[in-house]
Structure 1
Amino acid sequence: MLVIGIAAVPPRLEARLRLRDAAREAAAHWLKLDIETISVESTPGAPPRLLLAGRAASLSFSHDEGLSLAAIGLHGAVGIDVMRVQYIGDWFHLARDYLGPQVAEALAACTDAQRPLALAQAWTAREAALKCIGRQLAEWDARPIDCHLQPLSLPAPYVATLAS
């Protein structure tokens, strides 16, 4: 598995294009392939795929203001999500509606100073897991998601999670 990051440059469309190019370049270097044999395939509503000289690899992208990340999985699905740690006023309703009642209760037990980081960690974990299984973000449901979650070490104010 390979994780690639770039400092995002506005506008967002440019950052997306740069990240796709960076994923292709990294895969070419990593696998010792000609970059011309590598392409990104994306269809609205479906996870993107990296096409590597005739075979497909899992690909996941995430963007937040100032940073973009990509994950490539050669041996299975991957999902990645990045978020800036920030205060969100309506955190309880957001957590209850999208992360579930247990997470909302855990966040309610946090101090005001701890909550922004804990919310960002929970959000990126949920979003990365959903991307890994090919589901889009939707309101909470209790269906189990079977994937391994790995927090990534990033400089403040960013939090990210990789799912595989």
Structure 2
Amino acid sequence: MRQPLLELEKPEIHLWLQAVPPLEVLLPRLELLSLEERQRAGQLQLVEDRRRFLAGRLLLRTLLSHYSGIPPQAISLDRTVTGKPYWRDPPLPLQFNLSHSHQWILVGLALHRRIGVDLERIRPVPRWQRIARRYFSAAEQAYLLACPPPERDAVFLQMWTQREALLKAVGVGLAGARRLARDPGWLTLPLGVADGYVAAVAVEWERGTAEEAPPTVRLGQVPPG
């Protein structure tokens, strides 16, 4: 029996979280990937980097298939000049983005609106002040300085994921970070995901129109197998 399609309404944002499966679980499914994706994976020197890349692309293709009804291997994915994946000639106006960090993958999907997601494992950030001076506003820097030191790494990384998710949604590099943070056409939200991780999603938001309420965000978890 064919699995029912997943349904996504325009006001909704669907987020899917998955633990990175072992490499032996991923390898039998490589035929679902394009030749270019398999070649990119083969160029990664570290086994863990290869595992995360394969897991991310397999999860993305599987989800796109569940929403569109098209087989995963028949989906034509390409990359922008900044590396953001997109679907050439999709059958529905589906926008998506993905992120992976350590042992988790996060995929975000929306209709009609650009979307970006970012996921980070909480860890020490030795040069947080230098990074904050370059990419964060004066108010954000002051907030970080006022944080209790034991909490600062998590707070910094939460702020960083929101900035990175926005940049990924727009498809630009870090140079536009401060300007985009003040753009009223975007909504950026922190996410509660796995223990020891922080995440964020950024989406286009039609403020000032009939669609004034923020979109509904739904987070689900995919089994790792």
Structure-1-length-normalised TM-score: 0.85
SS of aligned partner of 2:198: strand
- Which ranges of structure 2 fall in alignment gaps of 5 or more residues? 1-12, 23-46, 204-225
Alignment of 1:98-109 (within 5 A): 98-109=135-146
Conserved in 2, the CA contact under 8 Å of 1:37 and 1:52? no
Q: Which moved more, 1:87-96 or 1:137-146?
A: 137-146
CA contact (8 A) 2:60 2:98 kept: no
Do the aligned partners of residues 33 and 140 (structure 1) sit closer, same or farther apart at CA in structure 2, a change above 3 Å counting? Answer: closer
One of 141, 148, 161 as aligned partner of 2:187: 148
Question: Which position in structure 1 is the counterpart of 2:27?
Answer: none
Amino acid across the alignment from 1:152: L
Could you tell me how far 1:113 is from its partner in structure 2?
A: 1.7
Partner of 1:159: 198
Alpha-carbon distance in 1 for matches of 2:101, 2:198: 10
- Aligned residue for 1:156, secondary structure, equals coil
Residue 96 (structure 1) aligns with? 133
* Superposition deviation, residue 62 in structure 1: 1.4
Q: Which has the higher contact order (CA 8 A, sep 6+)?
A: 2
Structure 1 residue 139: deviation in Å?
7.2
- Cα separation, 2, equivalents of 1:60 and 1:132: 8
Measured after TM superposition, the shift of residue 150 of structure 1 is: 2.1
Read off the aligned partner of 1:123 and give its amino acid letter: W
Give the conservation status (yes or no) of the 8 Å contact 1:49–1:56: no
Local SS of the residue matching 1:154: coil
- CA deviations on 1:10-59 (whole Å, 9 max, x unpaired) are 42133222211211211222333333442321144252113465456322
Partner of 2:133, secondary structure, is: helix
Matched, 1:126 2:163: yes
Higher helix fraction: Structure 1 or Structure 2?
Answer: 2
Matched, 1:113 2:125: no
What is the CA–CA distance in structure 1 between the aligned matches of 2:90 and 2:152, rounded to whole Å?
45
Give the AA of the match of 2:18.
I
Given candidates 99, 105, 108, the residue that maps to 1:71 is 108
Following the alignment from structure 2 to structure 1, what is the Cα–Cα distance between the partners of residues 95 and 67? Answer: 15
Distance 1:49 1:17, change over 3 A: same
Q: Which has the larger radius of gyration?
A: 2
What's 2:39 paired with? none
User: Structure 2 vs 1, CA of residues 133 and 102 (structure 1 numbering), >3 Å: closer, same or farther?
Assistant: same
Q: Which runs of 5 or more structure 1 residues have no equivalent in the other structure? A: none
Select which of 10, 16, 21 maps to 2:53.
16
Pick closer, same or farther for the CA change 1:56–1:48 going to 2, 3 Å: farther
